[in-house]
Amino acid sequence: MESSAPAVFDIGFVLLLAAVGGWVARRAGLPAVLGYLAVGLVVSPFTPGYVADRHQLQLFADVGVVLLLFEVGIEIDPLEIGRERGRLFAVAPVQVVFSTVVAGALGLAAGLRLAGAVLLGLCVALSSSVVVVNITRSRRRTTDLATDQVLLGWSVVQDMVGVALAIVAVIALGLETRSGPAALMLTLLYLAIVVAATGLLPRLLRALRNEHDLFLVFTVASALALAGIGSMIFGIPLALAAFVSGLAITESREAAEARERLLPFRDLFAVLFFVAIGALIDPSALLKGFGWLGLLLGLLIVAKVVPIYLLARFAHVSRRPLQVGIGLGQIGEFSFVLATIGLAHSLIPAELYAAILASVVITIAASTVLVRMGHSRLAPAGI
């Protein structure tokens, strides 16, 4: 028991710093996520002072990203999006494919191999669902209800298309140890298991509806187990498996309740996920990859913000197309997952990885602040 005391202190101290960092960020009118990222940089081995146990932090961060993306999967309701914002099913996939192709082509021109360029393209194409939710729920927001719905719907369709493309890329580019046909067969088998779970999990949740503690335990266990099975047995990256697993209960009546009860538990681990991202930023590698950082920020504007603005304007999905483009103009959690896959397979250099992590911080701050400009406020200050 005594030997575990340092580990307990480590997590407690990091969470305390994260709470302070999140509070400071919100007082400055920024999302708490930026405070968590800053705390990660403070406790990283690349900066002087206290150094957190990265292995322990990574374990909790893995749980965090699983619950984070599982909850995003639960939140997706394709039928509702189709009823209310049907055009998003046309314009959002076009944006994802266009952004991936343009960013990937420039990645190839910059010297990346095809697999690395594809991952870079997907990193640029996808936004952060967490940040989009923060933008639409912030008391400082200047978006109207219709713009909020477009932002949320667009990010959801982005996630759906992005995960499908990422799974195809992982198989087609040979990023799994198994052969292409075997990997495809295992992926289809896993999807069949998820489809079967859509009939079983809601029934079990319905039976536990009045058992609040067991309902939460079963929801969390389902997320971790399905994601773990997808990764260990079927070779699907853990975060992508978590997202697909969340879809298993999204259409059930229990989905909203499962998401509501999961949120506090997810938020605690998601804090450690963003702290872990900050702890991975190596300032020395970032200095070497400053050119990559400039390229990424330029790509986000040219290959993402501008296309989203044009598509939103000419497809008439929003009366505030510029706000939609800026609100979606950041790199988020899926991009981090894809960049990590690329680094693990030596498809992207450490300098580019550091630049992607830095882009997460810069673009989250920029999109959160700039999206408020140009429109009157809807509510008082504070987040």
Tokens of 357: 């992590």
At 21-31, the pLDDT tens digits run 999 988 887 77
Torsion of CA 32, 227, 155, 57, to 10 degrees: 20
Domain contains 31: no
User: Rounded CA gap, 183 and 175, in Å?
Assistant: 10
Strands (E), the chain: none
User: Rounded CA gap, 166 and 299, in Å?
Assistant: 19
Domain contains 43: no
Domain contains 108: yes
Q: What angle is formed at CA 12 by the lines to CA 8 and CA 15, rounded to 5 degrees?
A: 145
**Residue 216 belongs to domain spanning:** 62-139+151-370
- The pLDDT of residue 4 is 67
Mean pLDDT of the chain: 80
Domain contains 11: no
Domain containing 361 — which CATH number?
1.20.1530.20
For the chain, what is the radius of gyration of the CA atoms? Answer: 20
Domain contains 14: no
Q: How many CA atoms lie within 13 A of 192 on its CB side?
A: 7
Residues contacting residue 140 through CB under 8 Å, at least 6 positions apart? 29, 372, 377, 379, 381, 382, 383
Quickly count: other Cβ atoms within 10 Å of residue 211's Cβ: 11
Domain contains 1: no
Query: Are the CB atoms for 164 and 244 separated by under 8 Å?
Result: no
User: Rounded CA gap, 259 and 254, in Å?
Assistant: 9
At 229-275, the pLDDT tens digits run 887 877 777 777 777 777 777 766 777 777 777 777 777 777 888 88
At 144-196, the pLDDT tens digits run 888 888 888 888 788 778 878 887 777 777 666 555 577 677 777 877 887 78
Position with higher pLDDT, 120 vs 345: 120
User: Rounded CA gap, 356 and 331, in Å?
Assistant: 8
Tell me the whole-structure pTM to 2 decimals.
Answer: 0.79
Domain contains 357: yes
Domain contains 380: no
Q: How many domains are there within the chain? A: 1
CA of residue 29 relative to chain centroid, distance: 21
Tell me the DSSP string of 280-308.
Answer: H--HHHHHHTHHHHHHHHHHHIIIIIHHH
